[in-house]
Amino acid sequence: MLRMRLVTLVLLMWLGWTATAAADVNCEGDTLVDLPSQLGDTIRFQPDTVNTTSYWKDRVFRHGWNINDTTIVYPKFLDFCVKGYRWANHTFNYYDTAYVVNPGRGKKKFKVMLKNSNWLDFYSGHLGKWETPVQLNSDVTSLFGFHISGMGLSFTYMINARDLLAGKFIRNRRLQFSFTTSRIFIEAYYRKNDQSTVHLHSIGRWTGDEIFSGLKREGYGLDAYYIFNHTHYSQAAAYCFSKYQKRSAGSLLAGIYLSHQDVVMDMSTISAELKKHLPDAVTDYRFRYRDFGFMIGYGYSWVFHHGWLYNVTVVPSIGYRHSFPNSIDGKKSLLSTNLNGRMALVRTAGNFFYAFNFNHEGHWYTSTNHSFYNSYSNFDLTVGFRF
């Protein structure tokens, strides 16, 4: 009897040691190990005991991984990068969800769009001590193509539909880059028109419609402004279609701009009859200048019905203008005044969206002898789908 008790005691001690040893084993991955209830409580997963070398890789490459998942333990450098991204995303892309949300059914990361883009250049001013009015405009350049974007990358391909139908080659060049967050809007552009003809509508007392081939234009610049009411108002909802505005809201906008404009009007190409209306013997008018300054304006989005958004944004600017030596007035320091205006009508229906956008950018040159307003206007029609 005593022998049986000793054997039983040794067996219980062995089982107790086995259970204790099992409790010290590390868990691979996120699997929970359940031991029989008579051997003690269930072993709980502890993140600090995970083998991070393989665990974070398993989670990242697993379907449904979320960069905002705080339960994943990354290596030190990768952890720094992930935390930096989370901070930047929250700081620069946070919205009050009562006003602005991610569009579409679920979190859609990609967009594909069919676009028709039409732009027109317009020129108007006074020559010879503001005595001789002049007015010109280009033909409408019409582009048609598609745009696909997602995960911060985008690709656009457009063809000049009007020139294609007329059997001509495209002569106007346009490059544009934009970056939008809840707080900041940045846009850079480059445009050049050095071979296309324009229509001369008035010079002095003459009015009509004459083809004018002596105009060349090149311009590039950068606009950047801060959106003060960034939690309630989204510029991206109206012009990038990456957000959805649920309720009407507006915001004060303020920032800086840099601009370079070079417009040449060679009046030696016009007829002798029209040259009589020029104020003097000068036939080469060149307005070449560079601007630096501040811009301040307001943007408002009106949600007048579920799924419908109408936006108007007006941002005038003022600053310093440097006129180059080969400009019509020579090297001078002048006052810079410009205007940037936008308008959008957007319809959202599930993952589909339809939009009409208008953009006007104007540069007004003024001096003692001349005034000249050159502008760029763009009309876009867009049909898109999120997936």
Query: Quick one: tokens of 279?
Result: 């104020």
The pLDDT of residue 57 is: 75
Question: What is the helix (H) or strand (E) element at residue 70, kind and residue range?
Answer: none
178 and 39 share a domain? no
Residues 74 and 111 in one domain: no
Q: Say whether both 75 and 124 belong to one domain.
A: no
Residues 3-20: tens digit of each pLDDT? 444 444 444 344 343 333
What's the DSSP call for residue 7? H
Of the ranges 33-37, 136-140, 242-246, 248-252, the best mean pLDDT one: 248-252
Only one residue has tokens 């060149």, namely 286
Residues 6+ apart with CB under 8 A from 373: 122, 123, 124, 125, 362, 363, 364, 365
**Residue 235: what pLDDT?**
93
For the chain, what is the mean pLDDT?
Answer: 82
The tens digit of pLDDT for each residue in 155-212 reads 777 777 766 655 555 566 788 888 888 999 999 999 988 766 789 999 999 999 999 9
Contact (CB, 8 A) for 127 and 278 = yes
Is there a domain that residue 97 lies in? no
Per-residue pLDDT tens for 46-62? 444 445 556 777 777 77
> What's the confidence (pLDDT) of residue 29?
33
Residue 226 inside a domain? The answer is yes
Question: Quick one: average pLDDT of 239-258?
Answer: 94
Query: In the prediction, which pLDDT does 125 show?
Result: 94
- Which residue, among 199, 328, 213, has the nearest Cα to 262 in the 3D structure? 328
**199, 315: one domain:** yes
Q: Are residues 213 and 124 in the same domain?
A: yes
- Verify that 168 and 66 share a domain, yes or no: no
Total domain count, the chain = 2
pLDDT value for 78: 84
Residue 387 pLDDT level (bands cut at 50, 70, 90) = confident
φ, ψ at 62 (rounded to 5°): -85, 145
With respect to residue 360, please indicate whether it lies within any of the assigned structural domains: yes
Kindly give the pairing relationship between strand 371-386 and strand 198-203: unpaired
Could you give the residue ranges of the DSSP H alpha helices within the chain?
2-23, 52-60, 76-92, 161-166, 235-239, 272-275
Residue 321: which of 295, 297, 288, 296 has the closest Cα? 288
Mean pLDDT for the stretch of residues 220-242:
94
- Give the tens place of pLDDT for each residue, 355-376: 999 999 999 999 999 999 999 9
Percent of the chain with pLDDT over 70: 80
Classified as helix, coil or strand, 17 is helix
Cα 122 from Cα 377, distance rounded (Å): 8
For the chain, the straight-line distance linking the first and the last C-alpha, in angstroms and rounded, comes to: 77
pLDDT for 5 equals: 44
Instruction: Please check whether residues 217 and 296 belong to one and the same domain.
Output: yes
Domain end among 73, 92, 111: 92
CATH code of 249's domain: 2.40.128
Average of per-residue pLDDT across 31-38 = 36
The percent of residues above 90 in pLDDT, for the chain, comes to: 51
Q: Residue 43: phi, psi to the nearest 5?
A: -75, 130
Q: For 276, which DSSP code?
A: T
271, pLDDT greater than 60? yes
| pLDDT recorded at residue 64 | 66
Taking the C-alpha atoms of residue 186 and residue 230, their distance in angstroms, rounded to an integer, is 15
Distances (CA, A) of 75 to 47, 58, 78, 81, 356: 13, 13, 5, 10, 47
Per-residue pLDDT averaged across 201-229, rounded?
Answer: 93
For 61-102, write each residue's pLDDT tens digit.
Answer: 776 677 777 778 888 888 888 888 887 777 778 899 999 998
Domain shared by 86 and 180, yes or no? no
Name every residue whose Cβ is closer than 8 Å to that of residue 11 and which is 6 or more positions away in sequence. Answer: none
C-beta pairs of 38-46 under 8 Å, 24+ apart in sequence: 39/15
For residue 242, the model assigns a pLDDT of 85
- Residue-number span of the structural domain to which 129 is assigned: 102-386
Pairing between strand 110-127 and 308-323?
A: unpaired
Q: Where are the beta strands (DSSP E) in the chain?
A: 100-101, 110-127, 132-138, 141-150, 153-160, 173-180, 184-193, 198-203, 206-212, 215-227, 244-245, 249-266, 284-305, 308-323, 332-349, 352-366, 371-386
Q: What is the pLDDT of residue 352?
A: 92
Per DSSP, the residues of 71-82 read T----HHHHHHH
- Whether 241 and 371 map to the same domain: the answer is yes
Same structural domain for residues 204 and 302? yes
Among 145, 270, 155, CA closest to 202: 270
* 100 backbone dihedrals φ, ψ, rounded to 5°: -135, 135
CA angle 380–201–288, rounded 5-degree value: 75
Q: Is the dihedral of CA 297, 303, 307, 310 positive or negative?
A: negative
